[in-house]
Structure formats: structure tokens, C-alpha cells
Amino acid sequence: MTKKLLLTFLLVLGVILILAACAPTASPASTTAATSSSSGSSTTIDAKALVEIQCVQCHGLDRVESKKSDAAGWTKIVDRMMAKGGNITYTADEKAAVIAYLAETYK
């Protein structure tokens, strides 16, 4: 009976470790942009995290990283990606922060 209990414990522990290893992790160096809402309060938008979460739904980050453009070019790209019917959903403030991040990082 003890061996059976030990094997069950080890199996459960293994599953927990696998699930923990597969869980998404936050990037330690993230780029944020502060915006103010209509109520006057300040909100922080993590544009880098939005790019990492939204863009990889359809393609790898290497595709984003290989592009070089200014704010106008990134606006066209973001608009095109949002229009493709993917799950990219940005508020106006998030979209502005993402475009600013992309234009500054991949110019």
C-alpha cells in the first residue's frame, strides 16, 4: 500500500511540475505607456505585453521583429491585422500605445 501511495504522489507531483513549466510567464523587462482616460485618471498600458499576447495568435514574434516602419506604417499594419478578423482587440489607448511601442522599437 505504501508503494502505491508513493507512486500516486509522484505522479501528481509530476503533473503539477509540468503544468507549472507550461504556464505563461511575465517578461521582466516590459515597456509601458501611460495614458489618461476621459475621467482624468492615469492608466498604464504594457504595450510590449499586448504585442506579445495579441500578435502571436496568428504568427510568431519574429515576423513583428523583422518589420521596420514608422508610426504611419505600423498604424497601417495594425489596422490590417485587426481587420483580418483575428482576435486582436485593442482599445483606442491600447492601439496608440502599441503603435508607439512598435514605431520606437522596430524603426
Domain residue limits, the chain:
31-105
For 17-76, give the DSSP string: HHHHHHS----SS---EEEE-TTS-EEEE-HHHHHHHHGGGTS-HHHHHT----HHHHHH
pLDDT beyond 50 at 105: yes
- In order of 7, 36, 37, 65, the CA distances from 103 in angstroms are 54, 20, 22, 11
1: Cβ contacts below 8 Å, ≥ 6 apart? none
Q: How confident is the model at residue 23 (pLDDT cuts 50, 70, 90)?
A: low
- Residues 47/98, Cβ–Cβ less than 8 Å: yes
- Residues 45/93, Cβ–Cβ less than 8 Å: yes
Tell the CATH topology of 31-105.
Answer: Cytochrome Bc1 Complex; Chain D, domain 2 (1.10.760)
Q: What is the pLDDT of residues 77-87, one digit of tens each?
A: 999 888 886 67
Predicted pLDDT of residue 48: 92
pLDDT beyond 50 at 6: yes
